[in-house]
Amino acid sequence: FLSDSEDERAVEELLAQAKDMAVLEQVAAINCAGFANSDLPPNLESRFQNLK
């Protein structure tokens, strides 16, 4: 079993990773916001939408 201090460190690390992921998702959403009205050719646009 883990000690209390090891548990606390594990929880803090997990929370830090979750916060980092949330921030990265928000930044990605902001960075991709302008992509909705792209001027890509239709075949590339459909491939891009599938990737999003």
Every domain of the chain and the residues it spans = 4-51
- Above 80 in pLDDT, residue 23? yes
pLDDT of residue 50: 82
Contact between 2 and 10 under an 8 Å Cβ cutoff? The reply is: yes
- Residue 42's pLDDT band, with cuts at 50, 70 and 90, is confident
pLDDT of residue 13: 95
Output the pTM of the full model.
Answer: 0.53
Between CA 51 and CA 44 the distance in angstroms is 11
